[in-house]
A and B are shown apart, each in its own frame.
Chain A
Amino acid sequence: MLLSMPVDYLPIAMMFVVAIGFVLGTMVATHYLGPKRKSVKKLDTFECGIEVQGNARIPFSIKYFLVAILFVLFDVEVIFMYPWAVNFKSLGMYGFVEMLIFMSILLIGYFYIRKKGGFKWE
């Protein structure tokens, strides 16, 4: 089964419709089923019972941003490797050495970030 027909993707669309129907139906049902006794205090942001200080639209640690960028870099490499992995046996030694070169460039980058302390969380 190497070739997929567009019709093979039709059941995925069916599942999508079933799932979206369930999610929307449940959302609407709970909206009408539950009691509605709102008050200002109840709709306030939860902060362990003390007065709310400012709001949550605040800057957060740059570390998370760095992780996201690194993820994009490495994940693109992983995506490149999928077609190579599927055809690995037919490509043989030639393909393997080519991928070794590609991966060593990737690993140089990895060790650079590691030395720079990009993964340090203190």
Chain B
Amino acid sequence: MELFDLLIKLALVVAVFTIALVIAMYSTYAERKVAAFLQDRLGPNRAGPYGILQPLADGGKMFMKEEIIPSKADTFLFILGPCIAMMTACMTGVVIPWGNTLIIDGKAYIMQVTDINVGILFAFAVVSIGVYGIMIGGWASNNKYSLLGAIRASSQMISYELAMGFSIIALIMTTGSLSLRDIVEQQSGFHWNFLYQPLGCLLFIICAFAETNRAPFDLPECETELVGGYHTEYSSMKLGFYLFAEYINMFISAAIISALFFGGYNFPFLDKIDAPHNVITLIGTAIFFAKIIFFIFFFMWVRWTLPRFRYDQLMHLGWYVLLPISILNVLVTGAVTLFRNGQFHF
């Protein structure tokens, strides 16, 4: 790799990082506006026109607040928890293909930080480490609410990870690749995977809600029972990191859902457009972001529509319903794929 390539990669890394942060910031604003819209209120409207500067004001406030570490807490782990949550949230963006190739000086550069052949596995590995952030923070607080919230969060996340894993396996059986770029490229035009894997897609979206601790699965921070859940004792930017990490995770989940099941940067009639390659690439990227924003809106829509589950209902859904259905989905996908390829014989 030459120096120029390295610089391009570095620019992409910084761009992805910044975009993730900005989208996460404005998701907090969008969440409140969407909530206000769904509940017939106005929402934030004081900071700037239509409250557009609200996220900046909130960020500034978070920075200037007093940093409180409870005297009974384990100081090192208390600080480590939110750091891990934030780190893992930022790391997943590297494997997502944000667009096709850009041709500069006759050389093609992919609009993706890195295209590794274990893309999905990397994303899930990093997401799984995020559980440690919540678990460590909740335990280190030495507060009963935090402890309960943390235990709930971790057992919820690991329960739904199984169904998620199986729904991914059904998808990989049809694509034959773990690289996210390969999967997106196979969906060119309108061959989007949700048409071939409708059940897998539904399972994946449900599990994504549970993995990001979003309503109706937001029991870890269920304020009616647990005050603030695992971040009860947190203040200042440490609290900010937990909230931020949740919104970045939501953004990344929306990106992975669109890339895996809704065609990523592909759109119908892509090959009908008569335009230079780079222009089409940029249109594709814009389409990809439109899909992501739609899914972020979908996350919010669901949050303000559905009531929260009870804990036993949550576990029941994960282990009794989603897990068997996802295993069945793998088997049916396997049988149908073999049948269509004419390999179904003994």
Seen from chain A, the residues whose Cβ lies within 8 Å of a Cβ on chain B are 1-4, 7-12, 14-16, 18-20, 22-24, 26-27, 29-31, 33-38, 40, 42-48, 55-58, 60, 64, 67-68, 71, 74-75, 78, 81-82, 85-89, 92-93, 96, 99-100, 103, 107, 110, 114, 119-122
Task: Please encode chain B, from 143 to 157, with 1 for each CB lying within 8 Å of some chain A CB and 0 for all others.
Answer: 111111001001100
Q: Does B224 contact A (CB under 8 A)?
A: no
**Contact in complex: A121, B316 (CB < 8 Å):** yes
Residues from chain A with a CB closer than 8 A to the CB of B37 are none
**Contact in complex: B345, A26 (CB < 8 Å):** no
**Contact in complex: A64, B121 (CB < 8 Å):** no
Across the A-B interface, the 10 shortest Cβ-Cβ residue pairs: A121-B312, A78-B165, A19-B90, A30-B237, A71-B158, A85-B172, A11-B114, A43-B71, A119-B319, A88-B173
Residues from chain B with a CB closer than 8 A to the CB of A57 are 142
Report the minimal beta-carbon distance from A25 to chain B, rounded to whole angstroms.
11
Residues from chain B with a CB closer than 8 A to the CB of A46 are 70, 143, 145, 227, 232-233
**Contact in complex: A4, B331 (CB < 8 Å):** no
**Contact in complex: A93, B346 (CB < 8 Å):** yes
**Contact in complex: A43, B165 (CB < 8 Å):** no
Seen from chain B, the residues whose Cβ lies within 8 Å of a Cβ on chain A are 1, 6, 9-10, 12-14, 16-17, 62-72, 79, 83, 86-87, 90-91, 93-94, 113-118, 121-122, 139, 141-148, 151, 154-155, 158-159, 161-162, 165-166, 169-170, 172-173, 176-179, 181-182, 227, 232-233, 236-238, 241, 311-312, 315-316, 319-320, 323-324, 327, 330-331, 334-335, 337-338, 341, 343-346
**Contact in complex: B237, A93 (CB < 8 Å):** no
**Contact in complex: B237, A78 (CB < 8 Å):** no
Report the minimal beta-carbon distance from A24 to chain B, rounded to whole angstroms.
8
Complex A-B: 16 CB contacts under 8 Å: A4-B116, A8-B114, A11-B9, A11-B113, A12-B94, A14-B10, A23-B83, A30-B62, A30-B65, A36-B66, A44-B71, A45-B143, A56-B139, A68-B154, A82-B169, A93-B344
From A12, A74, A81, give the contact of B169 (CB < 8 A): A81
Report the minimal beta-carbon distance from A19 to chain B, rounded to whole angstroms.
4
Of all chain A residues, which has the CB nearest B16?
A15
From B70, B330, B344, give the contact of A43 (CB < 8 A): B70
From B69, B148, B155, give the contact of A68 (CB < 8 A): B155
Residues from chain B with a CB closer than 8 A to the CB of A92 are 338, 341, 343
Secondary structure class of chain B's binding surface, majority of residues: helix
Report the minimal beta-carbon distance from B253 to chain A, rounded to whole angstroms.
18
**Contact in complex: A42, B68 (CB < 8 Å):** yes
Of all chain B residues, which has the CB nearest A36?
B66
Residues from chain B with a CB closer than 8 A to the CB of A78 are 162, 165-166, 169
Of all chain B residues, which has the CB nearest A65?
B155
**Contact in complex: A19, B316 (CB < 8 Å):** no
Report the minimal beta-carbon distance from A31 to chain B, rounded to whole angstroms.
6
Report the minimal beta-carbon distance from A64 to chain B, rounded to whole angstroms.
5
**Contact in complex: B331, A34 (CB < 8 Å):** no
Report the minimal beta-carbon distance from B155 to chain A, rounded to whole angstroms.
5
Residues from chain A with a CB closer than 8 A to the CB of B177 are 2, 86
